[in-house]
Amino acid sequence: MKTKVPFLLLLGMALTTASCSVIPFSSSGSIDSSTTSATSEGTSQASSPTATSEASSDTSSAPTSEQSSQQSEPTPSSESSEQSSQQSSEQSSEQSSQQSSEKSSEQSSQQSSEKSSEQSSQQSSEKSSEQSSQQSSEKSSEQSSQQSSQTSSQTSALTSSEYTSVSIPEEDTRWNLDFSTYGKTFRDSLAELIRKTGGLASSYSATLSAGAKAAAYPSYSSNTFIPFYHEAKDSEKTTTSGCNREHTWPNSRGGGDKAGGGEIEKDPIMVRPTLTKDNSDRGNNFYGTGSNEWDPADCGYEGARGESARIILYVATCYGSSHGLSLSNNPKDASTMKTMGTLKTLLQWNRTYQPTAFEKTVNDRYDKMGYRRNPFVDHPEYAEWIWDDNGLRTSAPTDIDPPVDSSSSAYSGKLYDLADVTDMTGKKVVITTGAKMLCDRANKDTTPWYLASADVGFYQGKLVDDDSLVWFTVESGSTSGTLRFKTSSGKYLYGYTAPNASKPANPYYSIMIAKDEAEAAQLDSKEKSYLSNEWKATSDTSGVKLASGTVNLNFSDKYGTWQGSSSAASLKIFAQA
């Protein structure tokens, strides 16, 4: 009889986080949560266009009073005094934590920072004295858990102990959507939910201090921040001097529309603090890499493509019906058309450049400060229900499954580590290193042999993932003892080798996701000496090994991607209970 070995629950089951999919982690200089270093593989393509009159009209720096009050909470017009009091308490707690951490070791600093962030998140959501009592108990458990799991050094690779603070996504309950709808109907339903998450800044001018506070770095109490289009690291932090307000949806293209009391310009998600030069270089161009377009990666940070895309998707959703804004594939559209894009490129960037820990942190901070929340940071896949490459959808998407929320069967029950690999057939499984999950997409369109990864963790026996939950259905292969791994869109995981002209004795070991061999040949035109979607699975006490011929499925810590290798790797395969 085949047996399953239960996966040990991670420590700290009582811990909670402020965000749905945010896995707290720490970067150099400690954000509210830790960050892994993302590998930037692309290069800037588009040259900076000539500054337009629109860009130059917003080059004045913020009023002095705004700058001097940056450390205080920006107050949304819809915020109550009770929220303001909570924010003040939150800031005080974090500042105290920061001071304490300066007197301790680097590890203690991380511990203190994480504790402060989590305590602040719990305090801001307290509804009753009963919950307050529970929080006190959780704090004690949290301290004990963190101290017992503290490691001697911090590495870029996440370890299982770092996932003990992951909670079931809280904000999934905010996005109560009907996934049988699509296009305009889905968009307008999401817009209604967005407006319920928070308010706007008191004025257009106040968006600068609000954005600087949300992007504060290296901690929430810092008076320095990361300007939009730049990576969260010490060398990029700045102050509001030399910055202005960037209309991510250009002012002349509808971002400055005065309807509804000028609500678009008072939305801190749309108006971001940016270096004056970046704002001027961009002008009012569409985002993209072609003619009459501007590439955010020109600022030196490729991840800005994804961040920019998700803001434009947010604006088109929140203000599409109410202000007549829409997405377009024509960067030569007249500004009076109130369009932005380029749509096809934005959708691709949203898929390719997944939300970073810092992008999620900024979204969480806007939420805690009383402003609106961007659902595409929480769930990038929502865009697939609203648009296809040609515009608003006129039919439901067929190549992606509806998102799985915390109340669904996919999250319920225990997940088992399959020690007996012959028991996998017919099951839905996820393939992980224990920290990184295999996704069903290439890391970049031009490199099908590098498959993307997502951060993944476990909490109280339940799977909590960072990007999108990816289940492979396991089928029997045509060769005895082999297995096929099929995605929800009907594609398979392939292993293949290609000749290496310079080193014939060392062929290329590669992987890809393809529907069949014909599609695999189109994705990569290289001559293949071996190509198969059948995998041999073996297991031992260290994990499961998957090999297709001489190609072993492996994960590269250096590049953060899944790839083929000549050497076997111990992986974890978990089946849906």
Q: How far is CA 18 from CA 129, 166, 521, 540, in A?
A: 19, 10, 45, 38
pLDDT band at 506 (very low <50, low <70, confident <90, very high): confident
Residue 83 has pLDDT above 70, yes or no: no
312 vs 574 pLDDT, higher one: 312
Residue 400, pLDDT above cutoff 70: no
- 15: pLDDT strictly greater than 50: no
Compare 460 and 76 and report the one with higher pLDDT. 76
Structure tokens at 161: 């102990």
Percent of the chain with pLDDT over 90: 42
Name which of 53-57, 503-507, 572-576 the model is least confident about. 53-57
CA dist 106 and 29 (Å) reads: 10
**Mean pLDDT taken over the chain:** 72
| Per-residue model confidence (pLDDT) at position 4 | 36
Q: pLDDT for 127-156, tens place per residue?
A: 444 444 444 444 444 443 344 333 332 222
Do β-strands 436-444 and 447-459 pair in parallel, antiparallel, or remain unpaired? antiparallel
Q: What is the pLDDT of residue 65?
A: 36
Domain ranges of the chain: 53-149+156-392, 416-575
Amino acid 307: pLDDT: 97
Q: Give CA angle at 307 (304, 310), nearest 5°.
A: 145
Sign of the torsion formed by the C-alpha atoms of 418, 421, 426 and 428: positive
List, for residues 234-247, the tens digit of each pLDDT value.
999 999 999 999 99
CA distances from 240 to 46, 68, 223, 229, 272 (A): 27, 10, 9, 15, 11
Q: Determine if residue 218 is left, alpha or beta; phi over 0 gives left, psi from -120 to 50 gives alpha, anything else beta.
A: alpha
- For the residues of 19-62, what is the DSSP string, one character each? SSS------TT--SS--PPPP------SPPPPPPHHHHTT-SPP
Token pair for 85: 């009091």
pLDDT digit string, tens, across residues 261-277: 899 999 999 999 999 99
∠ CA 270-275-277, rounded to 5°: 115
Residue 559: pLDDT band (50, 70, 90) is confident
Q: What is the mean pLDDT of residues 493-508?
A: 90
Q: What are phi and psi of 428, to 5 degrees?
A: -95, 125
The distance in angstroms from the start CA to the end CA of the chain is 17
- pLDDT greater than 70 at residue 57: no
Please write down the HEC assignment for all residues of 127-154. CCHHHHHHHHHHHHHHHHHHHHHCCCCC
| pLDDT bucket at 354, cuts 50 / 70 / 90 | confident
In this prediction, residue 62 has a pLDDT band, given cuts at 50, 70 and 90, of very low
Return the percentage of the chain with pLDDT > 70, whole number: 62
Interval 420-427 mean pLDDT = 75
> What would the pLDDT profile of 190-216 be if each residue is shown by its tens digit?
999 999 999 999 999 999 999 999 999
Assign 117 a pLDDT band (cuts: 50, 70, 90). Answer: very low
CA distance 93 to 141: 19
Specify the fold of 416-575: Trefoil (Acidic Fibroblast Growth Factor, subunit A) (2.80.10)
**CA nearest to 58, candidates 296, 338, 280:** 280
Strand segments (E) across 223-345:
243-247, 271-275, 286-287, 293-294, 326-327, 339-340
For residues 436 and 517, the model is more confident at 517
Which comes out higher in pLDDT, residue 498 or 105?
498
**Rounded distance between C-alpha atoms, residue 495 and residue 476, angstroms:** 16
| Residue 561 confidence class, pLDDT cut points 50, 70, 90 | confident
pLDDT value for 540 = 73
Q: Which residue has the higher pLDDT, 249 or 16?
A: 249
